[in-house]
């Protein structure tokens, strides 16, 4: 198929009327489809239902070190859970603290603590005139939401196929001591599905920030969420790289079992250097007498170990893979060669990121909505909800059924075509 930009005005207009007919037919069906958020489908949640049976009134409810999980105690988590989440984080058990049900909550809490109490004795960020965070874009809207909430100025850094543009990161971080952090989703990033290259991870470990209290917020939310188990992305473990580089305190690693077991009812953890963990614990001891140890125990009894968790993730992949492939197949067959959009076929994670012609993303999302398809709001993948090029759209294929997805993908590509034609007609 010829690129749309090479078509004459008449050709574009006639294609437009054909597409309008098709679009109006779908619209008349009054569909209600949702590709807006990265939620697991019910079939995926069912995979973990056995977790409801591993603890009952007859069970021994003690952890392996004999802690009664029904009672207070074990502020930073039971040993069994530390082992499991340390394995998941690829660090040793002494580098992990177990939290509650959400890693995003820990990230919020961490930024909050840095604001009010500072990092390892440094001036609390709230007392500084300016605090900035680097935000690789496109990125995760809820990360940007946290920093926006605390009045932290966000600075866009472009994503490359290897991760954030490290030339820019190194330059900004070394020159500006008001830059205190960077948001990173290093594996199967949200939304592009990009995994950081070894060179990127090493360059992170070797950063020389002007601010001594600069931290890398390393949110490894999709660490074991491969779509192709025989071809998983593997990234270097940053904490060890930081130690080797003589920068052990540079990173906070966040992780959770949200998209392994139950989102909202999983277990979250932080991995960091001993100095950083002491900082976390100092705060934590005022915050709680302990997190939900029965849930920790439930997770350990259900998954048993990392092999059990990996096996479980294969079952997730078997459900997710056909959904990703269904969407990608429609994008490939309907849009390849038209030069009205680019996308990356991810090897894991929860999203497909689509870059439309500049100035088209908002209109495409609005068009799809007309036909009953809800997408993530255009702009959401950028700080302040502002995509300067109005180009990026996040596609979340996990929640709809495969049948719904085929229809949803069709509505999406028809919307892309219609809006792109209108854009190109502006200059004809
Ligand atoms: N980080 C990223 C990158 C995510 O995509 C998500 C879920 N959409 C989260 C964190 C949320 O994790 P949790 O449920 O542990 O708060």
CATH class of this structure's domain 4-44+310-426 = alpha beta
Task: Give me ligand 1 centre to Cα 387, in Å.
Answer: 21
Place of tokens 């409810």: 61
Q: Look at residue 15 in the predicted model and tell me its pLDDT.
A: 96
Tokens of 311: 């096996």
Cα separation, 405 vs 90, whole angstroms: 35
Tell me how far apart the alpha carbons of residues 137 and 157 are, in angstroms, rounded to a whole number. 6
Top-level CATH class of 62-304? alpha beta
Q: What is the Å distance from ligand 1's center to 421 Cα?
A: 36
User: If you measure from the C-alpha of residue 139 to the centroid of ligand 1, how many angstroms do you get, rounded to a whole number?
Assistant: 12
Looking from the CA of residue 185, the nearest atom of ligand 1 is 3
Contacts of 71 (CB under 8 A, 6+ apart): none
Distance 240 CA to ligand 1 centre (A): 23
299, 81 in Cβ contact below 8 A?
A: yes
**Residue 121: predicted pLDDT:** 95
In this structure, are residues 325 and 347 in contact, taking their beta carbons and an 8 Å threshold? no
Q: Say how many Å lie between the CA of residue 424 and the centre of ligand 1.
A: 37
For ligand 1, atom 2, the nearest C-alpha belongs to 221
Neighbours of 363 (CB within 10 A): 19
- Which of 40, 85, 89, 104 to mutate for ligand 1's pocket (most ligand atoms within 8 Å of CB)? 104
Using the atom order of ligand 1, give the atom closest to the CA of residue 103.
15
Characterize 100-123 residue by residue with b for buried, 16 or more Cβ atoms within 10 angstroms of its Cβ, and e for exposed: bbbbbebbbbbbbbbbebbbeeee
Please choose from 37, 136, 190 the residue to mutate so as to test ligand 1's pocket, defined by most ligand atoms within 8 A of CB: 190
Q: Percent of the chain beyond pLDDT 70?
A: 100
Q: Within 13 A of 417's CA, how many CA atoms are on the CB side?
A: 27
What is the per-residue pLDDT for 219? 98
Q: How far is CA 365 from CA 78, 168, 343, 380, in A?
A: 45, 31, 16, 12
**Which residues surround ligand 1 with Cβ inside 6 Å?**
38, 102-105, 140, 185, 190, 219, 221, 256, 258, 263, 268
Token readout for 294 is 């029965």
pLDDT digits (tens, 9 = 90+) for 211-243: 999 999 999 999 999 999 999 999 999 999 999
Can you tell me which atom of ligand 1 is nearest the CA of 256? 15
Mutate to test the pocket of ligand 1, among 110, 196, 219, 398 (most ligand atoms within 8 A of CB): 219
| Nearest ligand 1 atom, CA 259 | 14
* Distance of CA 254 from the midpoint of ligand 1 (Å): 10
Closest atom of ligand 1 to CA, residue 255: 15
- Residues spanned by CATH 3.40.640.10 within the chain? 62-304
**Contact indicator for 382, 388 with CB cutoff of 8 Å:** yes
Ligand 1 centre distance from Cα of residue 140 (Å) = 9
pTM for the model stands at 0.97
Ligand 1 center to residue 20 CA distance, Å?
Answer: 38
* H helices present in 336-428, as ranges: 361-370, 402-426
Q: Write out the two tokens for 415.
A: 């919307």
Mean pLDDT in consecutive groups of 10 residues from the start of the chain, 428 residues: 93 96 94 92 97 95 97 96 98 98 98 98 98 98 98 98 98 98 98 98 98 98 96 97 98 98 98 98 96 98 98 98 95 97 97 98 98 96 98 96 92 98 93
Residue 349 Cα to ligand 1 midpoint, Å, equals: 11
| Element containing residue 293 per DSSP (H, E) | helix 293-303
CA of 104 to the centre of ligand 1 (A): 6
């Amino acid at each position: 198929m010829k690129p749309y930009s090479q078509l004459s005005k008449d050709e574009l207009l006639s294609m437009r009327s054909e597409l309008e007919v098709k679009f109006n037919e779908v619209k008349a069906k009054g569909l209600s489809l949702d590709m807006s958020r990265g939620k697991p489908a019910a079939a995926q949640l069912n995979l973990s239902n056995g977790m409801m049976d591993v603890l009952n009134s007859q069970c021994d409810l003690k952890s392996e070190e004999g802690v009664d999980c029904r009672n207070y105690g074990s502020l930073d988590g039971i040993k069994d859970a530390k082992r499991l989440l340390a394995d998941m984080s690829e660090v040793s058990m002494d580098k992990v603290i177990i939290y509650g049900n959400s890693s995003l909550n820990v990230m919020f809490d961490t930024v909050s603590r840095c604001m009010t109490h500072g990092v390892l004795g440094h001036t609390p960020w709230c007392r500084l005139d300016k605090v900035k965070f680097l935000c690789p874009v496109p990125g995760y809207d809820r990360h940007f939401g946290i920093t926006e909430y605390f009045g932290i100025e966000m600075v866009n850094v472009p994503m490359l196929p290897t991760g954030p543009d490290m030339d820019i990161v190194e330059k900004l971080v070394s020159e500006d001591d008001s830059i205190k952090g960077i948001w990173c989703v290093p594996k199967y990033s949200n939304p592009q599905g990009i995994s950081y290259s070894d060179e990127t991870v090493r360059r992170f470990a070797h950063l020389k920030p002007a601010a001594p209290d600069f931290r890398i917020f390393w949110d490894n939310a999709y660490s074991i969420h491969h779509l192709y188990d025989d071809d998983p992305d593997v990234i270097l473990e940053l904490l060890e790289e930081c130690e080797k580089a003589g920068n052990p305190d540079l990173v906070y690693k966040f992780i959770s079992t949200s998209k392994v077991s139950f989102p909202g009812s999983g277990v979250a953890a932080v991995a960091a250097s001993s100095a950083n963990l002491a900082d976390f614990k100092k705060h934590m001891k005022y915050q709680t007498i302990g997190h939900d140890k029965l849930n920790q125990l439930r997770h350990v009894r259900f998954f048993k170990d990392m092999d059990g968790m990996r096996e479980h993730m294969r079952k997730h992949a078997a459900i997710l893979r056909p959904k990703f492939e269904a969407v990608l197949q429609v994008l490939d067959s309907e849009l390849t060669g038209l030069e009205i959009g680019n996308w990356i076929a991810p090897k894991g994670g929860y999203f497909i990121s689509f870059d439309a012609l500049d100035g088209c993303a908002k209109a495409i999302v609005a068009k799809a909505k007309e036909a009953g398809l809800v997408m993530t709001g255009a702009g959401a993948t950028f700080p302040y909800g502002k995509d300067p090029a109005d180009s990026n759209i996040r596609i979340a294929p996990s929640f709809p059924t495969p049948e719904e997805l085929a229809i949803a993908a069709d509505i999406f590509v028809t919307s892309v075509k219609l809006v792109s034609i209108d854009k190109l007609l502006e200059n004809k």
